[in-house]
Structure 1
Amino acid sequence: PTVTLQPSWTQIYSGETVTVRCEIQGREGAQWTYEWRQSQKNIPETSSEYRITVTESDGEGYSCRGRRDYLLTEWSDIIRLTVSYEPRPVLTVSPSWLSPGASVTLNCEVEHPSAGWSFYWYKAVPDLSEKSSSYELLPDGNRTANNSYIIHGQTHTAGYVCRAGRGDPEYHTDHSQPKFVWSADVHSAASLTVSPDRVQHFTFDSVSLTCEGNFTEWRVRKFSEDGRLSDCRRMTGSTCDIKASKSHTGVYWCESESGEFSSAVNITVQNYYYYDDVPILVSPVHPVTEGASVSLSCSLRTQKILSNVFFYHNDKLIQNDTRGELKISALSKSDEGFYKCQYSGRESAQSWMSVKVTVSGADSSSSPVWLMVGLVCGVSLIIILLLLLYRCRQSKYSCFTRSIQSESHSLGSSTNHGVNQNETHVYDSVHPGTNHIYDSVTPVEDNRNGSDEHQDVTYALIELKNFEKKRKHHKPEQSAVYSEVKTGAAGKSSPAADAAVYSEVTLGSFPGQ
């Protein structure tokens, strides 16, 4: 007989359930009973299959033989199971530093890849009371066949975890170590400020990291270069105080009691030796807005202001003169990248400077908001105009009077207002320059009939034809434009209400006409 393993995994983990099967070649149809043993120790099992929940001792191996009546087969070769401790998958994120709104890809890798794994995806939620994090299943993150998961529209710092499972009943691995997608966007739910405000620091420097936001309790966390996650040990309120050492190099962020993450910052600590004073680059911790100015400098612990400094952008020398500062007056996206400085042949570590892009002076993320505001305002204005037009059409009186066309042969040297003696309206001056002019009309009281009521407010449409005709060089004539204005008392329908009043408007000369 031979012993086979189902499923045929090459790597089995302690706690998994597998089946060993005894097969006798050429005697499949016969009525056999079976005997099993594990490392020379008999097992009380008589079926051809033996289901095992694997432990570490199962690595010694299994064998079987068949029995029929008085016939016994020989023992099979021993099948040995390679048993390991519970695996812990490794999660990777790309990119780890993101631009707000970008897509993030998560990848979950098991130590010994094989078929049959399903994957689960979680978001890490901080729990300040337990000084740990809980895990919330992501949308559509339950038992996916693919070992990658894409998050669209990521905007803020967030932590993620994965785990894998296989078999029936399903065996689950441990959760992966949390991996973080960091956003340096200052518009996160909370922000982390650093004092002194620079990325690089010397050992023994006092550095304060303060959480700011609308929450009462905070925790400052660090993700070190070696992948370890740790908490600040010296929290005073919302501030973490550290005495910088090389081990403090890493990414820092804040977590609130309600599960929010702040923007993240990079902190780099440079060893200081009195006999070898290596410089540091003084650069901003947070992203700098596009179009703004920024100044980078080089500093020694013993001397804060240096001159004759070389500055590099992405390893390319960009300034080499007596100035001690690199000033960029109007940042663009092309200025983003790694910067470092060099003084007296000694180079600083390089630090990333991020440039935050804006659209028309506003964050690109806010443009849809302004688009909606503009759309709502535009629709509201159209509705108001339609209502006014409807009211106007339903009115008993005309909104506008007939227009009287007139042609001016020449322009006078003065402007007068001629008003009919029966007129009850005062007309403002008319300004030339357009063909259609709407002139305001101010009503005055008409007491001829003993009434104190005001007349309706009406508007005259006056059409002025082109004045740029060829004129003879003699004394200009004056011509009048007459506007017919129908007036009437509000709420009355007497014949007098339809009387026409003519207003004489004299046009004068204007420069350039």
Structure 2
Amino acid sequence: MFTGETITLRCEIQGGEGKVWKYEWTAPNTNSPPTSSEYRISRVSVSHSGDYRCRGSSDYLLTGWSDAFRLTVSSSKPRATLTAHSSVIPAGGSVTLSCSVEGSAGWKFDWFRRDSVSSKAQLMRGNEANRVISVSQGGLYHCRGGRGDPVYYTEDSSDVTVTETLPSKPTVTLQPSWTQIYSGETVTVRCEIQGGEGAQWTYEWRAAKLNTPPTSNEHRIIRATESDSGGYSCRGRRDYFFSEWSDIITLTVSYKPKAKLRADNTAVPVGGSVTLTCSVNPSSSSGWKYYWYRDEKSSEALTTQNAVFHSNGQISVSQEGLYRCRGGRGNPVYYTEDSQSVRIGKTVTASNRPVVTLYPNWSEIYRGETITVRCEIHGGDTEWDYEWETNSRIKAPNQNEYRIRSASSSNSGNYRCKGRMKSSQHKTTEWSDSVTLTVSDSK
């Protein structure tokens, strides 16, 4: 027993019914033991520990002494122990709690729950003979034991925290929303709990490079490195409630990319323009805007005053110079490496205009005949490279003469040519007038 409990010892004489008995007691710490059959100790103490015996007398009859009843009184009040088979209730499930008082018996149990550390404990179930219950709510739980009449209570057990898994599942988002980013970029990983607005959530993260994971719903990665690559997931905690873990979103961090510049022509034709195209690989990366520069030392990006801007990543220019580009995205803007420079020259048209002649000068010939198509540029002693344009099925070579040894209908078509100075590839003639060649398949 424990200090403060009440106990009644009763002396029973078998077969002595109908007689009037007087009772004698031997007991520790008792100067005047009772003469009745009951020996009641209202609040036991350690000094009441020991052996208790009794005997009865009636007229000239005397019983023998009873066997000893040994009573042990502990000075310390017992404390109940509460254990949970799991500290987390699965969504829609329950967990089992067990209450016990070590080294003694006869207890019934009271169960208490609190919504928060500061709230008052509420009695859930009282005077339960079963020491095991199931609970499906999160909270702080404790128990105590009680026995006897009047009831003697143990000390309350220590609190056990039970958390409840909520069915809501958070979502991990990226801001900006690119899963492919590059060394030095800044990105924010955010945990969003649908329907949890207004609640005070604490957040847990599972992430690639979070030695000390944040407890807020945002994790800002400033100047990302390759070690930030990996999967990110989160869950929310509020009082004694957990959300499920979110799905994993994977972030990939690569080396800083280099823009690529491509020109459809390296010379601006007279009165025309050249189209430049800028791109960033891999194509899976997105969100880029493109910035254009002319001349190596210039750090001022081109504007609509000196270029025509088409779709994002493509412009037309009509000025000669050394062009380069780079991509940029995000806030603050993250820039790629500059592309390689491309030099754009200006095409100058020579005053000489070629003439296409046929030798012999018959425009209609017959299958099997031989004919020469010649590009002639008159005036000066300039050396030329030649360019032909024809809709015949057989293309002319880039020479001033095209000799057809055995003509066929596939040689029929319009022929025109122009010359490009060998000494200055940006200087060309205009196109000649077209000459039509007709080859008849009949002899």
Q: TM-score, normalised by structure 2?
A: 0.40
Q: Point out the structure with the larger strand share.
A: 2
TM-score, normalised to structure 1, is 0.35
Larger Rg: 2
